[in-house]
């Protein structure tokens, strides 16, 4: 089986990435063989298209509602389930895998398309391309085009498999607003050594960049009647934080996990700012407060906390309910905290609640009532024994987010990385306002907190006759209340993209659909049953309209006669 061509074609237009992977394979054997197409793609992406063509005949993937696709599939395959075509393979990636049998001397071309909105984290956007051909490929290339009308501030490529020889196959061309990256190694350059037919290409190929920003009310871009508004203020004073770390030290944390937790907390302590206040609550079946109140992050207090962290050991049950309620009450009775400050609780746990209240719905209710919108709750689930669904619902209901920490060598770095994302709150209560009568389908436009290094994105459809789109941003900063205003000239903005030949014309509309679906799905996690159905119905409608494989849709992949006729590609979620 020879992969004679493998192309990764990626176009990023104003953060929206459209990637097409084409693999051409021939069967050089003198009998029919099973040929596999295996691609890892970012979890944040939605597959939008797949097809295979065998000797000129095309077999397209068709996107349908998940429930009805499953029904058809079950009828077709009455003898038990075969696994879906997509599964989560790691912290950032999921794998799409399909195989088909082709005759001797036949050729097959696979083509997979996926789209995602790149999310700014710690001051940069990251485009991740997984490279794993598992053999030398005659025509191999990665072709990335980036167009950012705001201007590209910096751009770097990084890879886990580069050698001096492979670097020669990499070219970067960059102008004010555009970048083109081409990686096209010859067969000889792909070899681990000249004698062996083994490939070096195995790992991540990453492009990182950021855009230029003026000191205004963000940047508005408009195409075909849809706008997107990016807002990422910089150089603003940081709010002091009041943070309580709630750390699980039940039996299952013993060994490597508690060690990695200690390592991460020691580094996080060093990152606290002198004006921050902090404390620790540890729990197993018992809940222990390190101090009865929050302490200021002076050098002395941080040193004493570091000593405490080094003594953390594990044993016993898991009383998540009481641990979190204790954290809320410590924040509630705290005195002498800075007047304008941000209070947050960071929970790290690796298991289900087993001690005290163990009904997750009761816990969720208790915590939501206690937090009462005053604090942000972040839930970190360590490993795969946690109920991620429970943690995610609890976090989203209380103004925070959940994150799974993978049990790898870099778990301490994952914990630290998460802390860095929330370490610098610079705005609170952000409202992005637009003229109500002139827009429809507005995505989320109120945000509780804005952290430095991230970005707020709002998108909507504009009514036809609008010449000027006025926007107003209201927010609270550490030094006072903030109002920013701006007007976008619709015609001028539309012209920016007009002469960009490689841009698909409705990309902001697709960006709007992608963002709307993501937000509807996120909202449905913490919604009541009836609302949940409404939110999911709307998300399903958009998924089908714009052909995205989301948790509510399936792609039905058909194969030539005589083989298992249909298979399903579903979107896996972190909550499983």
Q: How far is CA 179 from CA 219, 252, 280, 494, in A?
A: 20, 48, 46, 21
Both structure tokens of 263: 């390592």
Q: What is the pLDDT of residue 68?
A: 85
Q: What is the pLDDT of residue 501?
A: 58
Asked whether residue 49 is assigned to any structural domain, the reply reads no
Asked whether residue 547 is assigned to any structural domain, the reply reads no
Asked whether residue 267 is assigned to any structural domain, the reply reads yes
Asked whether residue 73 is assigned to any structural domain, the reply reads no
Asked whether residue 289 is assigned to any structural domain, the reply reads yes
Helix count and strand count (H, E) for the chain: 12, 31
Torsion of CA 322, 327, 328, 331, to 10 degrees: 160
Asked whether residue 246 is assigned to any structural domain, the reply reads yes
| Contact predicate 204/131, CB 8 Å | yes
Q: What is the pLDDT of residue 80?
A: 46
Asked whether residue 528 is assigned to any structural domain, the reply reads no
| Contact predicate 157/222, CB 8 Å | no
Q: Hunting for tokens 């083509």 — which residue is that?
A: 111
Q: What are phi and psi of 183, to 5 degrees?
A: -120, 110
Q: How confident is the prediction along the chain (576 residues), in pLDDT tens digits per residue? A: 999 999 999 999 999 999 999 999 999 999 999 999 999 999 999 999 999 999 889 999 999 999 888 887 777 665 444 557 899 888 899 999 998 999 999 999 999 999 999 999 999 999 999 999 999 999 999 999 999 999 999 999 999 999 999 999 999 999 999 999 999 999 999 999 888 899 999 999 999 999 999 867 999 999 999 999 999 998 899 999 999 999 999 999 999 999 999 999 999 999 999 999 999 999 999 999 999 999 999 999 999 999 999 999 999 999 999 999 999 999 999 988 888 999 999 999 998 999 999 999 999 999 999 999 999 999 999 999 999 999 999 999 999 999 999 999 899 999 999 999 999 999 999 999 999 999 999 999 999 999 999 999 999 999 878 999 999 999 999 999 999 999 999 999 988 887 665 556 689 999 999 999 999 999 999 998 899 999 999 999 999 999 999 999 999 998 887 777 678 899 999 887
d(CA 542, CA 532): 16
CATH number of the domain bearing residue 245: 3.40.50.410
Q: What is the pLDDT of residue 337?
A: 86
Assign 3-state DSSP to the chain and report helix, strand, coil percentages, each to 5: 25, 40, 35
Cβ burial of 31 (10 Å; 0-12, 13-18, 19+) is: exposed
Report the relative pairing of strands 241-248 and 277-283 from DSSP bridges.
parallel
Closest CA to 91 of 399, 413, 377, 306: 413
Residue 540's Cβ-side half-sphere holds a number of Cα atoms within 13 Å equal to 15
Residue 367: which domain range? 241-420
The alpha carbon dihedral of 45, 47, 48, 54 has a sign of: positive
**What are the DSSP E strand ranges found in 383-467?**
402-405, 425-433, 439-440, 446-451, 456-462
Q: Hunting for tokens 């498999």 — which residue is that?
A: 161
Asked whether residue 331 is assigned to any structural domain, the reply reads yes
Number of folded domains that form the chain: 1
């Amino acid at each position: 089986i020879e992969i004679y061509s493998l192309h990764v074609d990626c176009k990023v237009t104003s953060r929206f990435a459209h990637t097409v992977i084409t693999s051409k394979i021939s069967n050089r054997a003198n009998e029919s063989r099973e040929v596999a197409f295996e691609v890892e793609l970012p979890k944040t992406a939605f597959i939008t298209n797949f097809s295979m063509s065998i000797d000129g005949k095309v077999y397209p993937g068709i996107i349908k509602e998940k429930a009805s696709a499953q029904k058809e599939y079950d009828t077709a395959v009455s003898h038990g389930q075969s696994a879906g075509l997509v599964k989560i393979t790691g912290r950032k990636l999921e794998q799409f895998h399909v195989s088909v049998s082709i005759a001797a001397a036949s050729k097959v071309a696979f083509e997979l398309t996926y789209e995602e909105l790149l999310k700014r984290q710690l001051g940069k956007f990251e485009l991740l391309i997984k490279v794993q051909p598992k053999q030398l490929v005659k025509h191999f290339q990665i072709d990335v085009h980036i167009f950012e009308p705001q201007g590209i501030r910096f751009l770097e490529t990084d890879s886990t498999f580069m050698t001096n020889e492979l670097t020669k196959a990499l070219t970067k061309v960059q102008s004010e607003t555009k970048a083109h990256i081409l990686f096209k190694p010859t067969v000889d350059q792909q070899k681990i050594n000249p004698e062996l037919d083994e490939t070096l290409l195995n790992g991540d190929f990453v492009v990182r960049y950021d855009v230029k920003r003026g000191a205004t009310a963000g940047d508005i871009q408009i195409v075909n009647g849809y706008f997107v508004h990016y807002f990422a203020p910089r150089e603003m004073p940081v709010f002091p934080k009041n943070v309580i770390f709630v750390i699980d030290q039940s039996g299952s944390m013993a060994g490597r996990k508690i060690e990695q937790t200690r390592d991460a907390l020691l580094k996080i302590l060093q990152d606290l700012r002198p004006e921050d206040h902090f404390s620790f609550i540890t729990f197993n079946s018992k809940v222990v407060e390190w101090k009865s109140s929050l302490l200021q992050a002076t050098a002395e207090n941080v040193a004493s906390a570091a000593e405490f962290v080094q003594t953390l050991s594990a044993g016993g049950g898991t009383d998540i309910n009481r641990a979190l309620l204790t954290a809320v009450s410590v924040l509630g009775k705290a005195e002498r905290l800075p007047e304008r400050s941000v209070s947050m609780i960071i929970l790290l746990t690796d298991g289900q609640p087993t001690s005290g209240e163990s009904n997750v719905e009761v816990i969720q209710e208790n915590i939501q009532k206690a937090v009462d919108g005053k604090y942000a709750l972040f839930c970190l689930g360590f490993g795969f024994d946690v109920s991620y669904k429970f943690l995610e619902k609890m976090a989203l209901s209380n103004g925070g987010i959940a994150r799974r920490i993978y049990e790898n060598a870099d778990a301490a770095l994952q914990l630290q990385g998460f802390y860095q994302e929330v370490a610098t709150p610079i705005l609170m209560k952000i409202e992005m306002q637009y003229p109500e009568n002139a827009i429809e389908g507005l995505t989320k436009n109120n945000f509780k907190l804005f952290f430095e290094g991230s970005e707020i994105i709002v998108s909507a459809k504009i009514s036809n006759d609008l010449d000027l789109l006025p926007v107003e941003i209201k927010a609270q900063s550490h030094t006072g209340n903030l109002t920013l205003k701006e007007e976008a000239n619709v015609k001028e903005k539309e012209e920016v993209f007009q002469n960009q030949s490689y841009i698909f014309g409705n990309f902001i509309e697709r960006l709007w659909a992608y963002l709307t679906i993501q937000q509807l799905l996120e909202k449905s996690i913490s919604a009541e049953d009836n609302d949940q159905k409404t939110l999911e119905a709307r998300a399903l409608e958009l998924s089908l309209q714009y052909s995205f494989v989301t948790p509510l849709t399936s792609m039905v992949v058909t194969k030539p006669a005589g083989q298992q006729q249909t298979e399903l590609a579903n979107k896996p979620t972190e909550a499983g």
